[in-house]
């Protein structure tokens, strides 16, 4: 019996990848993804059927917000039974945030959801868009024993496939725009496409997809810096209805030992604010208690973000708050890897 054709759905949200340049005027215009195969004939060489759906009004990724994340998740939910994989085309600026959020929102995901974009428009002479798009579709269509090889939310950019919730955008100009400094790549595209199966999320017993659409955005990020003062801290902690804070600390989770800082954080915790300690460093992990400057944070039971990225931390908070996780178990659940977002 012949295997049925693998079907891939492209979801275009906006971003540079979806633009083409009018050569006479030099103006960038949105690309009609219904004609994607005609405009990129190389896609015809892939052994899969490709359909597309677009946001009614494509947006710059700087305007992306949780409402749009829900829209993407809903499209995947509506078409989940009809397609073998999904490729989400998205602006690169906030791609790590969106893809991290989707990793939490799509529980029991058993198919690939690959985010990609580009630094140059699809019609540009030196564009990276074509390779990113073609290889993302190829990865989304990979099967072994009639099962998808990739069964998680990923981000593909410039020859490398990453776990989405491990990524950070590190460069606004180079084609190598993203890095995953605390987790190895899932696949590399060179002369051959090499998949590192040992790095992929291991598929569990098949369960129905659950799509979580309740996200709570009453969260904030506070980055420490030398000269950081109490007025700034209190202006953040006194935000009405604030529920959670990502505290970006130095090195392995260190912070100043000023009494006012520790007292204000302690008081905020006592009032029910969830505070997560995340390192400012691009790579490495929070290890509270290693230095005296993090001992007090450990004693007051601030949540240990370990090696999670800021993008994955803020979106995980939105997801857990939206899921109405109880205060007693909140820290334990946050410190537990639920989608491979922390080691």
Beta strands, E only, 136-269: 143-144, 147-148, 153-157, 160-163, 168-169, 178-179, 187-189, 193-195, 210-211, 219-223, 244-249
Domain co-membership, 246 together with 147: no
Show the domain range for 58.
6-211
Identify the residue with better confidence: 307 or 190: 307
Spatial CB neighbours of 23, under 8 Å, sequence gap ≥ 6: none
First-to-last C-alpha distance (Å) of the chain: 42
CATH number, domain of 266, equals 3.40.50.40
Give the count of domains, the chain: 2
Nearest by Cα to 189 from 160, 148, 223, 212: 160
Instruction: Lowest mean pLDDT of 32-46, 260-274, 317-331, name the range.
Output: 32-46
Identify the residue with better confidence: 262 or 202: 262
Residues paired with residue 148 on neighbouring β-strands, in sequence order:
143
Domain boundary among the residues 161, 189, 211 is at 211
Strand 106-107 and strand 210-211: the pairing is antiparallel
Spatial CB neighbours of 62, under 8 Å, sequence gap ≥ 6: 91, 93, 94
**Which spans in the chain are helix H?**
36-39, 66-79, 95-105, 129-140, 230-237, 259-270, 292-299, 310-322, 327-334
Domain co-membership, 47 together with 172: yes
What are the Cα distances from residue 343, in Å, to 96, 127, 149, 229, 289?
18, 35, 22, 33, 18
Cβ atoms 153, 110 nearer than 8 A: no
Taking residues 164-171, report their average pLDDT.
94
Check pLDDT > 70 for residue 38: no
Q: How far apart are CA 203 and CA 343, in angstroms?
A: 17
- The model's pLDDT over 172-210, given as tens digits with 9 standing for 90+, comes to 877 778 999 999 999 999 889 999 999 999 877 789 999
Domain co-membership, 63 together with 145: yes
Catalytic residue list: 16
Domain boundary among the residues 193, 211, 229 is at 211
What are the Cα distances from residue 190, in Å, to 131, 144, 161, 265?
11, 20, 12, 49
Q: Assess if residue 19 is contained within a domain.
A: yes
- The model's pLDDT over 73-132, given as tens digits with 9 standing for 90+, comes to 999 999 999 999 999 999 989 999 999 999 999 999 999 999 999 878 776 767 788 889
The pTM for the full model equals 0.93
Domain co-membership, 186 together with 226: no
């Amino acid at each position: 019996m012949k295997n049925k054709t693998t079907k891939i759905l492209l979801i275009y949200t906006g971003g540079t990848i979806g633009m083409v340049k009018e050569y006479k005027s030099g103006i960038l215009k949105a690309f009609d993804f219904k004609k994607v195969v005609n405009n990129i004939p190389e896609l015809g060489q892939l052994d899969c059927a490709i359909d597309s759906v677009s946001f009614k009004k494509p947006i710059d990724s700087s305007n992306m917000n949780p409402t749009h994340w829900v829209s993407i998740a809903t499209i995947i939910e509506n078409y989940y039974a009809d397609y073998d994989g999904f490729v989400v085309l998205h602006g690169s600026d906030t791609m790590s945030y969106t893809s991290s959020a989707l990793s939490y929102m799509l529980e029991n995901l058993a198919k690939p959801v690959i985010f990609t974009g580009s630094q140059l428009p699809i019609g540009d002479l030196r564009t990276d868009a074509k390779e990113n798009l073609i290889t993302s579709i190829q990865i989304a269509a990979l099967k072994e024993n009639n099962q998808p090889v990739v069964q998680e939310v990923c981000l593909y950019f410039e020859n490398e496939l990453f776990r989405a919730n491990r990524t950070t955008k590190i460069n606004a100009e180079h084609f190598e725009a993203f890095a995953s400094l605390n987790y190895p790549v899932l696949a590399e595209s060179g002369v051959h496409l090499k998949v590192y199966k040992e790095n992929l999320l291991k598929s569990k017993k098949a369960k129905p997809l659950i799509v979580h659409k309740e996200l709570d955005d009453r969260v904030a990020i506070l980055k420490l810096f030398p000269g950081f003062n109490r007025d700034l801290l209190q202006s953040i902690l006194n935000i009405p209805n604030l529920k959670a804070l990502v505290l970006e600390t130095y090195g392995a989770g260190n912070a100043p030992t000023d009494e006012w800082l520790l007292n204000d954080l302690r008081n905020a915790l006592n009032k029910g604010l969830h505070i997560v300690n995340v390192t400012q460093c691009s790579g490495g992990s929070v290890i509270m208690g290693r230095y005296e400057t993090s001992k007090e944070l450990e004693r007051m039971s601030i949540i240990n973000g370990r090696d999670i990225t800021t993008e994955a931390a803020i979106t995980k908070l939105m997801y857990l708050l939206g899921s109405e996780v109880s205060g007693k178990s909140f820290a334990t659940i946050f410190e537990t890897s639920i989608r491979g977002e922390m080691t």
